[in-house]
Chain A
Amino acid sequence: MLVQDVMRFPVITVGPGVTLEEANRLLLEKGIRHLPVMEEGRLVGIITDRDIRLATSHLNPKGPCPGCAQVGEVMTREVVTAHPLDPVEEAARVMRERKIGCLPVLEDGALVGIVTGIDLLDALLKLTGVTEPSGRLEVRLPDRVGELFRLTGFLAKRGVNIHSLLSYPEEEAFVRAVVRVNTLETHLLAEGLRQEGFEVLWPPKKPW
């Protein structure tokens, strides 16, 4: 999944000469939190709802910015950006490490989109969500070559289609695999998997 698959466009922007009041109205009106600042088609900064609040509030420990009336005086000038072909996880890592809420997306210097934390939540939902009617298997695999192959091979031999497969590391050299399959009969599959020596965490074996 790439940034271009989750980014929003067209992007709502402002110029540096716009007043803070106008910028704030725009944020409220559109229900957004970030405004890239553009000058002559170039990205020159970014301003957030928080920047505006801090610049205008007595609650700011440093007090409100005395002469600040325009976006250009409050915006952050060094903007961290992404490219449309960056992997989503890279965008997530940058945002997490820099503790920032969005990345304007630039291609050849032009602003083509914006990615926010909310878009990354959408990506998470897409990766883990249910897009087809399906059942769920959860299997703990030893973290070594060929284990996932053994699991998917078993499912293929049973004629079961895999709608999605998610895996993540667990402690002590194990990997947890969550597989969504196109069948109601996951208990039957689980039984078959257990007979082949797999550790199936879901569905459970019923003792009656």
Chain B
Amino acid sequence: MVIYRDEYRLYNFGPSHPFSPVRLEMLTSLLQALGVWREPLVPGEATREDVLSVHSERLVKRVEAASRGEGVPDLEHYGLGTGDTPVFPGMDRAARILVGGTLEGARRILAGEKRVLQLGGGLHHAQYDRSSGFCVYNDLSVAIRHLVRSGLRVAYLDIDVHHGDGVQWIHYEEKEVLTISLHESGRYLFPGTGHVHEIGRGEGVGRKLNLPLEPFTEDESYLEVFEALVPWALGAFRPDVLVVQAGADAHFLDPLADLLLTTRAYERLFRLVLEYAEAYAGGRILLTLGGGYSLDATVRVWALLYLVFHGLPLPERLPEGWLREWEARLGQPLTPTLHDPEAPYPEIPRRQEIEKRNRLTLERLTELVRPHLVH
């Protein structure tokens, strides 16, 4: 089942902001041009109470006031009105619409649906008391909390290139929530956290996993550590449902970060997460979108996600008409094939060292959490 609503595109920080609603417009038009678009389920908007299940009233009040255009003096203290997360009219509702989609996905899972793809959301940086990094409200945590309150054990997997800090901190002391985030090391990239030593607190110890990767990590190394870590952790935790934030910004074309995944790695990742859901989570999986700031790459990655999700064959070329239309609109050439070309970037001289360091990070992580996770 796919969840989507055109009003997702109201979540708009302005024409020059990278978290652009054009991504969704371009994606849905591509899926239509490919002839694979099926009518999605249109979700309602989340209520204020839904949002308050993971955010402070202080924060929500400020988002509401700011979206009415009222001046709020301490907005920046709450992570709003910054260059990354500027204020815009109607922001509160726009954010609640995204939350509504992910929450609807959780409700569908509880109603017996196995696979849900939410074509939006994934705002993993928003914290209890603070908006952050393009993320006003944390749709993922609202959905996770709803699932947990309904008695499910939730595994959250975050493949966005940035650390899934908001989700991690909100559920940091919870035993029923396993979080796994693979990201470019916080030593180099926003938000700066996501170190292997962040493993949870109290009852949550050993259930918050972080695998920070070296800049310029490529497909092979990424998949190597992913395939070693994720099934192991899921097998030990035995979740009832897998929630996946499928950000596309670990792609080599992404302008904000430094990992070097190609569409081939993404295809493999999407097939793997569906397999893992079958093997370890009773087949239940809720996928959302997330970061992804190269329009060219992001749209192809998420089209791949949609196709793999539905078990559809992958076309080699993208439709000519669609390419012409979007190349004209964006004023830039686009990759004409669904997959990236072979060897799309120059060879990385430090490859072996990067692979070695990623393996070492994985070892450290498993040493740290094994005593808590496996018993």
Cβ of B83 to closest chain A Cβ, rounded Å: 5
Cβ of B311 to closest chain A Cβ, rounded Å: 33
What A residues does B79 contact at CB under 8 A?
Answer: 133
Cβ of B63 to closest chain A Cβ, rounded Å: 17
- State the CA gap A186–B132 with chains docked (Å): 15
Q: Given A133-B132, A185-B18, A187-B256, answer yes or no on A158-B83 (Cβ-Cβ < 8 Å).
A: yes
Cβ of A111 to closest chain B Cβ, rounded Å: 33
State which size class the interface on A falls in.
20 to 34
- State the CA gap A208–B216 with chains docked (Å): 13
B345–A186 CB distance below 8 A? no
For window 242-272 of B, CB contacts with A under 8 Å fall at: 252-253, 255-258
By beta carbon, the residue of chain B nearest A130 is B192
B258–A159 CB distance below 8 A? no
Query: Which of these, A136, A160, A182, A204, contacts B189 with CB under 8 Å?
Result: A136
For window 185-223 of B, CB contacts with A under 8 Å fall at: 186-193, 215
B344 within 8 A of A: yes
Bitwise, A183-208 to B at CB < 8 A (1) or not (0) is 11111100000000000001110111
Cβ of A154 to closest chain B Cβ, rounded Å: 13
Q: Given A133-B133, A182-B84, A185-B84, answer yes or no on A203-B258 (Cβ-Cβ < 8 Å).
A: yes
B15 within 8 A of A: no
What A residues does B133 contact at CB under 8 A?
Answer: 133, 184
Q: Given A182-B84, A187-B256, answer yes or no on A135-B76 (Cβ-Cβ < 8 Å).
A: no
Cβ of A203 to closest chain B Cβ, rounded Å: 6
What A residues does B255 contact at CB under 8 A?
Answer: 187-188
A185–B193 CB distance below 8 A? no
B82 within 8 A of A: yes
B153 within 8 A of A: no
Q: Given A161-B76, A184-B134, A185-B84, answer yes or no on A130-B188 (Cβ-Cβ < 8 Å).
A: no
A13 within 8 A of B: no
B71 within 8 A of A: no
B188–A203 CB distance below 8 A? yes
A184–B165 CB distance below 8 A? no
Number of A-B contacts (CB under 8 A): 70
B192–A134 CB distance below 8 A? yes
B96 within 8 A of A: no
B162–A184 CB distance below 8 A? yes
Cβ of A112 to closest chain B Cβ, rounded Å: 31
B115 within 8 A of A: no
Q: Identify which of B76, B134, B162, B189 gathers the most chain A CB atoms within 10 Å of its CB.
A: B189
A133–B192 CB distance below 8 A? yes
For window 9-36 of B, CB contacts with A under 8 Å fall at: 18
A183–B186 CB distance below 8 A? no
Q: A133-B192, A184-B256, A185-B83 are in contact. List 11 more A-B contacts (CB 8 A).
A: A134-B191, A135-B190, A136-B188, A180-B192, A183-B190, A185-B256, A186-B189, A187-B255, A208-B252, A208-B253, A208-B345
Residues of B within 8 A of A (CB): 18, 76, 79, 82-84, 125, 132-134, 162, 165, 186-193, 215, 252-253, 255-258, 344-346
CB<8 Å pairs between A and B, sample of 9: A133-B79, A133-B192, A133-B193, A136-B188, A160-B83, A185-B256, A186-B189, A202-B188, A206-B258
Closest 4 CB pairs of A and B: A133-B191, A130-B192, A135-B190, A184-B190
